[in-house]
Structure 1
Amino acid sequence: MKKILLIATGGTIASKYSSEGLKPGITSEELLAYVPEIREFCMVDTVQPFELDSTNVCQEHWLILERVIEEAYDRYHGFVVCHGTDTMAYTAAALSYLIQNNRKPVVVTGAQKPINLEITDARANLRDSLRFASDDRAYGVNIVFDGKVIAGTRAKKERSKSYNAFSSINYPDIAVIQEHRIIFYIEDHFRLTEPVRFYHRMNRRVLLLKMIPGMDGRVLNMLADEYDAVIIESFGVGGLPTYGQHDFLEAIDNWCSQGKKMIMATQVTHEGSDMAVYQVGKAIKERFPIIEAFDMTLEATVTKVMWLLEQNLSGEEFKKEFYRTINHDVLLVE
């Protein structure tokens, strides 16, 4: 029987109603008590490193989770992280970069309704997550939610209230869970040849900047002193406007001349970027050392840059590592 570590961090799944609104208050042991049937297929220990609404989860908490898993790695067959849904995709992506070549499953899950309600998705999600973490074929970081298994770098929360909150972006679901059956669509654990590696640092000085009509290059100049990298959510397949007295070309030149990283992504959820299509993107890409996110999610792009900035890489090494596929995060590369 598999031995699983349940890591509770708060979130809606562990929340209780109060006069101030929903807030975490259900312990890790109490969560487990709501799914007694899991004793048929796994043994579970619990730990609670913090108890937060996931709105308050950031880099320091990702590193805490990494350390918990690293310290317990040899004692368990798998790990389940109970987490709030709002930043769950960021946490799953971050753990994908902090724990690499991982042959053991790290499952991130949560719920849209607290587990102590009569009608809730929490019990099914927790049960499915523990079942998946106990499966011999499971490995790496994945989100398990509403019967779907999604690669940790491909998940995005697309619905704020519905049970089917998460979708896999530009990549198929890894598997689906139907009652006690797990149906795998992708089985590729055999590709892992290196030993597991844990990383312990992430750079917080990363900005995600969403373009809106009328924005000009002054915004980049104002931010250059505060950030080491900027990821620009551009329009369509990727490009920047050239109107007005303060276009982006001068600002980009200033940013890149300081050795700061600039990554071009897209606001469009599906199908990714391709700056070579239009002049507004191609001209910039040919002139400046800009990296393109292509088919990556914004959550994966942000956390991968945070991880890479701490690896002391040259410009070309940084670009090469950014385009190295980790946990299915990028397929369309130059």
Structure 2
Amino acid sequence: MAQRKILIIFTGGTIASVKSENGLIPGLNAPQILEFIPEIPADIEIETLQLCNLDSTDVYYKHWLMISEAIERYYEGFDGFVICHGTDTLAYTAAALSYLIQNSPKPIVLTGSQKPIGMEITDAKKNLMDSILYAADPDSNNVNVVFYGKVIAGTRAKKNKSFSFDAFASINYPSIASVQNNGKIIRFIKEPVTGGVKFYHSLNPKVFVLKLTPGITSDILETLFRQYDCIIIESFGVGGIPINLIDDLGRLKDKYAENEKIIIMATQVTYEGSDIATYEVGQRIQNRFRYLQTYDMTLEAAFTKIMWILGNFSGSFHDFHHIFKENINHDILNS
């Protein structure tokens, strides 16, 4: 393989953490982290960029834009990109980058670890090396998460374990590939990218996720409608919504123009998605107001996709509906 040039962007997270009197905190910089993986193949050239050094709890949409802008700035000079990131919000960042950087023939890989790279027993070295190898492979493209040997589409990753090394699952979609212990890449889905990469530069952060609980009242709805442009409702099952919320949701939706306040119906269930029309408790809203539905999307993908849509497009509800249903980096299949 010809020489491949990879840019590793460091943002902090457990992989860069050290012990402090208040618990683990990101403290290692890029050169210190790379000292732990001296076995990088000679045909891979590494450069680094220390963008920030944060626990991913403190990473939000401004950092997603910062990462995307850095990749755009250095895009022509590298064959692939690896982003070292904390695991707790890594799935949100991966999804956001899937919308901010679309149709990329060059791979953009996110990874992290459950244990700091300086610990004797850690998953950090494997995850970082796997990510470098995947980013250096000429057949890799688009935004993906590489973790514990699995390659997951950036819109399909979800952290589903707190401590175990196999912390991420690919939700409602197969893994793209796997990276074996010998560094060999086994591809399950091959999808060449045609055309040029497209970068976007705006996100609308005024999106709120409302998780329904038994007996929830509608008292908070007026405040949410006033402060946010979109409310994602995590409903029960495939799409159940309590009857006591329907009238107030409809009344508040009627106060605004149809494209001014967006409601998205999602499910609290991790696998298999939503289908509002299945039960009467879902059909209650079908004739009361218009909404978007996540179907088999992850919450992280739905959350960041609507931020991207509202930040970059204007138009009617029909226009938003059409864009939301578009398949971007494998984010939605059943719509």
TM-score (structure 1 length as normaliser): 0.96
| Counterpart-to-counterpart distance in 2, 1:253 and 1:279 | 20
Taking the TM superposition and a 5 Å limit, the aligned residue runs for 1:112-131 are 112-131=114-133
1:89 corresponds to 2:96: no
Q: Determine the structure 2 residue equivalent to 1:276.
A: 277
| Counterpart-to-counterpart distance in 2, 1:193 and 1:249 | 47
Taking the TM superposition and a 5 Å limit, the aligned residue runs for 1:141-156 are 141-156=143-158
| Counterpart-to-counterpart distance in 2, 1:29 and 1:317 | 47
| Counterpart-to-counterpart distance in 1, 2:13 and 2:221 | 34
| Greater shift in the superposed pair: 169-178 or 286-295 | 286-295
Q: Determine the structure 2 residue equivalent to 1:301.
A: 302
Do the aligned partners of 1:106 and 1:139 also contact (CA within 8 Å) in 2?
A: yes
Change (3 A) 1:117 1:218: same
Q: Determine the structure 1 residue equivalent to 2:139.
A: 137
1:291 corresponds to 2:289: no
| Counterpart-to-counterpart distance in 2, 1:66 and 1:19 | 34
| 1:282 Cα deviation from its structure 2 partner | 1.6
| 1:287 Cα deviation from its structure 2 partner | 3.0
Letter in structure 1 aligned against 2:197: V
Helix, strand or coil at the partner of 2:202: coil
Helix, strand or coil at the partner of 1:38: coil
Taking the TM superposition and a 5 Å limit, the aligned residue runs for 1:13-52 are 13-52=15-54
Helix, strand or coil at the partner of 1:212: coil
Q: 1:255 is matched with which residue: 253, 256, 260?
A: 253
Deviations 1:26-70 (A, max 9, x none): 111111121111133411000011110000000000000001000
| 1:256 Cα deviation from its structure 2 partner | 5.2
Deviations 1:303-328 (A, max 9, x none): 00110011223211110000000000
| Counterpart-to-counterpart distance in 1, 2:77 and 2:287 | 50
Q: Determine the structure 2 residue equivalent to 1:183.
A: 186
Q: Determine the structure 1 residue equivalent to 2:230.
A: 229
Deviations 1:125-147 (A, max 9, x none): 00000000001111000000000
Helix, strand or coil at the partner of 2:278: coil
Helix, strand or coil at the partner of 1:73: helix
Do the aligned partners of 2:13 and 2:112 also contact (CA within 8 Å) in 1?
A: yes
Helix, strand or coil at the partner of 2:226: coil
| Counterpart-to-counterpart distance in 2, 1:287 and 1:138 | 45
| Counterpart-to-counterpart distance in 2, 1:212 and 1:256 | 24
Question: Which structure 1 residue ranges, 5 or more long, are not aligned?
Answer: none
Helix, strand or coil at the partner of 2:81: strand
Q: 2:166 is matched with which residue: 141, 164, 167?
A: 164
Number of matched residues?
A: 328
| 1:248 Cα deviation from its structure 2 partner | 2.4
Change (3 A) 1:110 1:272: same
Do the aligned partners of 2:221 and 2:248 also contact (CA within 8 Å) in 1?
A: no
| 1:295 Cα deviation from its structure 2 partner | 0.2
Do the aligned partners of 1:272 and 1:293 also contact (CA within 8 Å) in 2?
A: yes
Q: Determine the structure 2 residue equivalent to 1:80.
A: 82
Helix, strand or coil at the partner of 1:103: coil
Letter in structure 2 aligned against 1:162: S
1:199 corresponds to 2:197: no
| Counterpart-to-counterpart distance in 2, 1:54 and 1:73 | 24
Q: CA RMSD in A?
A: 1.1
Helix, strand or coil at the partner of 1:43: strand
Do the aligned partners of 2:246 and 2:285 also contact (CA within 8 Å) in 1?
A: no
Do the aligned partners of 2:233 and 2:263 also contact (CA within 8 Å) in 1?
A: yes
Helix, strand or coil at the partner of 1:48: strand
Deviations 1:70-124 (A, max 9, x none): 0000000000000000000000000000001111100000000000111100000
| Counterpart-to-counterpart distance in 2, 1:312 and 1:193 | 27
Question: Which structure 2 residue ranges, 5 or more long, are not aligned?
Answer: none
Letter in structure 1 aligned against 2:189: I
| Counterpart-to-counterpart distance in 1, 2:142 and 2:250 | 37
Letter in structure 1 aligned against 2:247: L
Helix, strand or coil at the partner of 1:143: strand
Letter in structure 1 aligned against 2:137: D
| 1:255 Cα deviation from its structure 2 partner | 2.5
| Counterpart-to-counterpart distance in 2, 1:91 and 1:313 | 26
TM-score (structure 2 length as normaliser): 0.96
Do the aligned partners of 1:217 and 1:249 also contact (CA within 8 Å) in 2?
A: no
| Counterpart-to-counterpart distance in 1, 2:139 and 2:65 | 26
| 1:257 Cα deviation from its structure 2 partner | 4.0
Q: Give identity over the alignment, percent.
A: 51
| Counterpart-to-counterpart distance in 2, 1:158 and 1:313 | 36
